[in-house]
Amino acid sequence: MTKTLNVAFIGCGGISKYHVKNVVSSPHLRLVATMDMVEAPARERAQEGGADYWTTDLDRILADPNIDAVMVFATHNTHADLTVRACEAGKHVFVEKPPAMTIQEAKRVQQVAYETNKHVMSGWWFKHSPITKRLREVIAKPQFVLFTCRIPRTNAKTGHPHSEDPYAANGILDLAGYNLHWIWHVVRSQPVEVIAMGYGGQATNTSTILIRFENGATGNSVTSLAGGGGIIPKHYAEGGAGDVSAATLRFGNLVFEGTDEPGIVGNAYHNGFDEEMSMFADLCLNNGTNPMDIWEACIPTVIFEKAVESMDTGRAVPIDVHKEFYLPNGELPPSIAQFGDN
């Protein structure tokens, strides 16, 4: 492969406006083409990224031998199918989160990625934040972790209320999937049981998901669409072990208590997100380690599906990670076995 990765966008809506800037600024990426079901956004992103062409024809992208990799930025219910088709067409894939809506979809994508030997990376970018890295350095084995995601009930852009369907855009898997991945990554233990409750006894976005881990730690993911979001910013997280605790407001800072270890006073909010495009270029061009492979990226899908089952049934639901991933050789994928530290 050349030292430039030729890429195409699939889906040219809101998030692609951010990613296109990081593609353009990377010396190792070239935007060859853009594709969307709708002409206008495909044309706009092509102009911004200096692409050779734009199209509404997915097959043209998949058949183009000049394209090494696609970046899937379409709506999340399309991610699994588009990733499978792109791998089968011989392309590496960066797919926005969540890469799969269900465990069944997740296993299918994992199997195809494995069998085609294509790099598939996804976008749970809180993992890459210096806040996350520093917290994990100081508290290696937290006994509890809390992550909350509060969004205003009414969408500021449209004025319409968000859907309470946990599978919808802005649903738990979409927005609070970050919570679920981060809790697992920080706790460094496998989930063994989930008990979740939604508002009004329903499987809804306004809910609490409690996770019990193999090592005895507990995780608590709170999602709320009630009211205007509350006094705490959209993302707030904390964890503790023994006498030491840590908390972060919006990943803009990190405060420790019970230790002299310094925290982080100011941190640019979108830092992990900013680096994803160059991480993907490095992965594909240099065959490096995947910082968010398709197995790790599906941890939220697994916990989410069990949580929805728990909200529906009112019962605790067991999780056996050995059963919830495509396992090519009968062993846990390294990224899962090592909690994203592979």
Ligand X SMILES: NC(=O)c1ccc[n+]([C@@H]2O[C@H](COP(=O)([O-])OP(=O)(O)OC[C@H]3O[C@@H](n4cnc5c(N)ncnc54)[C@H](O)[C@@H]3O)[C@@H](O)[C@H]2O)c1
Binders of ligand X among residues 193 to 252 (CB under 6 A) are: none
Q: Do residues 207 and 166 make contact, with C-beta atoms less than 8 angstroms apart?
A: yes
Nearer to ligand X among residue 71 and residue 135 (C-beta): 71
Burial environment of residue 117 by CB neighbours within 10 A (0 to 12, 13 to 18, 19 or more): exposed
Least distance (Å) between residue 202 CB and ligand X: 23
Least distance (Å) between residue 117 CB and ligand X: 25
Nearer to ligand X among residue 29 and residue 317 (C-beta): 29
Instruction: Tell me the C-alpha distance between 163 and 210, whole Å.
Output: 22
**Contacting residue, 99, 123, 191, 239, with ligand X by CB under 6 A:** 123
Size of the site for ligand X (CB under 6 A): 22
Instruction: Tell me the C-alpha distance between 55 and 121, whole Å.
Output: 24
How far from 212 is each of 189, 225, 300, CA to CA, in Å? 9, 24, 15
The yes or no reply on residue 273 touching ligand X (CB under 6 A) is: yes
Q: Do residues 56 and 36 make contact, with C-beta atoms less than 8 angstroms apart?
A: yes
**Contacting residue, 37, 192, 226, 249, with ligand X by CB under 6 A:** 37
Least distance (Å) between residue 41 CB and ligand X: 5
Q: Which stretch binds ligand X (CB under 6 A): 6-14, 153-161, 241-249, 332-340?
A: 6-14
**Contacting residue, 5, 7, 12, 151, with ligand X by CB under 6 A:** 12
Sheet holding 120-122, edge to edge: 53-55, 29-35, 5-10, 69-72, 92-95, 120-122
Q: Which of 274, 276, 285, 272 is nearest to 69 (CA)?
A: 285
Read off the DSSP letter of residue 342.
Answer: -
Q: Which stretch binds ligand X (CB under 6 A): 12-20, 45-53, 195-203, 260-268?
A: 12-20
Torsions phi, psi for 77 (to 5 deg): -70, -10
> Which residue's CB comes closest to ligand X?
13
**Contacting residue, 114, 125, 167, 326, with ligand X by CB under 6 A:** 125
The yes or no reply on residue 48 touching ligand X (CB under 6 A) is: no
The yes or no reply on residue 268 touching ligand X (CB under 6 A) is: no
**Contacting residue, 64, 68, 96, 105, with ligand X by CB under 6 A:** 96
Read off the DSSP letter of residue 234.
Answer: S
Chain centroid to Cα 109, Å, comes to 15
Least distance (Å) between residue 244 CB and ligand X: 30
Of the chain, the end-to-end C-alpha distance in Å amounts to 24
The yes or no reply on residue 167 touching ligand X (CB under 6 A) is: no
The yes or no reply on residue 13 touching ligand X (CB under 6 A) is: yes
Binding site for ligand X (CB under 6 A): 10-15, 35-38, 41, 73-76, 78, 96-97, 123, 125, 174, 273
